[in-house]
Amino acid sequence: MDLALAPETLARWQFGITTVYHFLFVPLTISLAALTAGLQTAWVRTENDKYLRATKFWGKLFLINIAMGVVTGIVQEFQFGMNWSDYSRFVGDIFGAPLAFEALIAFFFESTFIGLWIFGWDKLPKKIHLACMWMVSIGTVLSAYFILAANSWMQHPVGYRINEERGRAELTDFWLVLTQNTALTQFFHTMTAAFLVGGAFMAGISAFHLARRKHIPVMRMSLRVGLVTVVLAGALTAVSGDLLGKVMFKQQPMKMAAAEALWDGEAPAPFSIFAYGDVDAGHNKVAIEIPGLLSFLANDDFTSYVPGINDVNKAEQEAFGPGDYRPNIPVAYWGFRWMIGFGMASFGIGLLGLWLTRRKFLLPPGLRTGDDEAPRLVLFRNKALSPRFTKWYWIVALWTMAFPLIANSWGWIFTEMGRQPWVVYGVLRTRDAVSPGVSQGEVIISMTVFTLLYAVLAVIEVRLLLKYVKAGPPELTESDLNPPTRIGGDDKDADRPMAFSY
């Protein structure tokens, strides 16, 4: 069958599209849940109105976003059985467990408490209402942990044995599946990258309003929270990325060799800045490199040996029989670079922003501004940036919102496509995992339906976000400032309109 329409190819495209789409909403949900909970905590502790307005503003954007995260996630739960039934049969004994744990422990948690938070403003005393938001945040993080443990098992299967009689993999050590270093480092890296998304989102939108001199007290504070999040998360993303890289060099040398377009093993191995090559012939035509850096990234040693694509391919052919064990090299190579490039760019722009808007005590008195004035951007000691450069920084900060999303997507595309042709590394090939009973026509229908539906919903979501971003933080009402004192709402409010209704 023509490869472009082979069931495996179609099913891969569908899974790729739906998963990348899902993961546009996930990191923003994870980070905004925690950031909103943090802002609400600040309000409960200080009773300063600006924190409540910020909570309502970022909370609204969070809700618009999580709605899409939830519904795109539903598809993921069933897609394994629909398109990848042979995979589900082979690994269900292991892979199903973290999924079921995720639903029982995390999904129930977040979906129940999000309902309490949305509708609970006039039904719950404020500390209990705040606790609900923290529960949502914990739920999102737990959910990420379980699903990443499941994915990590596909990257590096542990704690299992092959049952020849039943023709499947069986779980022997669940604790190992949950705590192997692949799962822990991947979780660490994904969490830090998620907070990079949320931080950049907050900083970008705050920059948008500050550039227009609107909603200043709330946005000034939000900008700071966003920038600090970007810088902390960016630094930790680099650290966790390095850790994850070292794990990958040991567990999936092919993926890392492909990421570097390193065709033949070298000692010391160089880090590639730019490469252009011939995949069939297995070498680069153009290569700009930093000597020894790849050895260091792989083994903490500038002179060590790193195996190349051709070496690993040969080793896997000897181990698993004839075949091509190379992933799509350009996708792996460029995916890796886009991930690092966009991630680091947002970190750099965040760091610059943090310096430009530094605290009052680091500024000369003439350049200090009050809490209800937009901050002056100050690069050098005694001189504020000109209006033109100030405007440029706000514009750049606004566009930087997109950078971590791009980095996240490419990071996942690299992780997943770098593992091909395996679906479970070294155990099950992707082409052996598709549903034998599902026809080409059916996959084409579902792929078309999901792609179109998701595209339409994405347009709707972005326009809604824009509307609410432009509207800015809401003015507070009487009932916002007088939260109920008893669970279920105070009796005197019995006939008042609900604080929130669909």
Partner 1 sequence: MELHDVWFVLIAVLWTGYFFLEGFDFGVGVLTKLLARDRKERRVLINTIGPVWDGNEVWLLTAGGATFAAFPEWYATLFSGFYLPLLLILVCLIVRGVAFEYRAKRPEEKWQTNWEHAIFWTSLLPALLWGVAFGNIVRGVKIDAEMEYVGSLGDLVNVYSVLGGLVTLTLFTFHGAVFTALKTVGDIRDRSRRLATSLGLVTAVLALVFLVWTQVSRGDGKSFVAVIVAVLALVAALGFNMVGREGWAFALSGVTIAAVVAMLFLTLFPNVMPSSLNEEWNLTVANASSSPYTLKIMTWCAAVATPIVLLYQGWTYWVFRKRIGTQHIADAH
Interaction between residue 468 and partner 1 (CB under 8 A) = yes
Interaction between residue 438 and partner 1 (CB under 8 A) = yes
Interaction between residue 195 and partner 1 (CB under 8 A) = no
User: Under rule CB under 8 A, which residues in 110-129 are in contact with partner 1?
Assistant: 111-116, 118-120, 123-124
Interaction between residue 485 and partner 1 (CB under 8 A) = no
User: Under rule CB under 8 A, which residues in 15-34 are in contact with partner 1?
Assistant: none
Interaction between residue 370 and partner 1 (CB under 8 A) = no
Interaction between residue 430 and partner 1 (CB under 8 A) = no
Q: Are 476 and 111 in contact (CB under 8 A)?
A: no
Torsion of CA 61, 63, 64, 66, to 10 degrees: 120
Interaction between residue 108 and partner 1 (CB under 8 A) = yes
For residue 361, the tally of other CB atoms under 10 A from its CB is 6
**70: number of CA atoms within 13 Å, CB side?**
16
**CA distances from residue 25 to 67, 116, 277, 309 in whole angstroms, order as listed:** 9, 21, 35, 34
Interaction between residue 473 and partner 1 (CB under 8 A) = no
Q: What is the DSSP letter of 279?
A: T
Dist. CA 483–CA 479, nearest whole Å: 6
Q: Compute the least distance from the CB of residue 172 to partner 1, in Å.
A: 7
Interaction between residue 299 and partner 1 (CB under 8 A) = no
The span of 219-227, 311-319, 380-388, 457-465 binding partner 1 (CB under 8 A) equals 457-465
Q: Compute the least distance from the CB of residue 358 to partner 1, in Å.
A: 37
Q: Are 168 and 91 in contact (CB under 8 A)?
A: yes
Q: Compute the least distance from the CB of residue 91 to partner 1, in Å.
A: 8
Q: Compute the least distance from the CB of residue 5 to partner 1, in Å.
A: 17
Q: Which of 281, 436, 475, 485 binds partner 1 (CB under 8 A)?
A: 436
Residue ranges with strand state E in 236-322: 271-278, 283-290
Dist. CA 156–CA 442, nearest whole Å: 31
What sign does the CA torsion over 168, 251, 230, 458 have?
Answer: negative
Taking the mean position of all CA atoms in its chain, how far away is CA 189? 9
Question: Measured from the CB atom, is 20 or 367 closer to partner 1?
Answer: 20
The span of 24-32, 299-307, 395-403, 494-502 binding partner 1 (CB under 8 A) equals 494-502
Q: Where are the alpha helices (DSSP H) in 171-215?
A: 174-179, 181-211
User: Under rule CB under 8 A, which residues in 46-105 are in contact with partner 1?
Assistant: 63-64, 67-68, 70-72, 74-75, 77-78, 80-83, 85-86, 88-89, 91-97, 99-105
The interface mask with partner 1, positions 165-194, x = CB under 8 A, is ---x-xxx-x--------------------
User: Under rule CB under 8 A, which residues in 304-363 are in contact with partner 1?
Assistant: none
Nearest to 329 by CA among 415, 265, 417: 417
Question: Measured from the CB atom, is 132 or 194 closer to partner 1?
Answer: 132
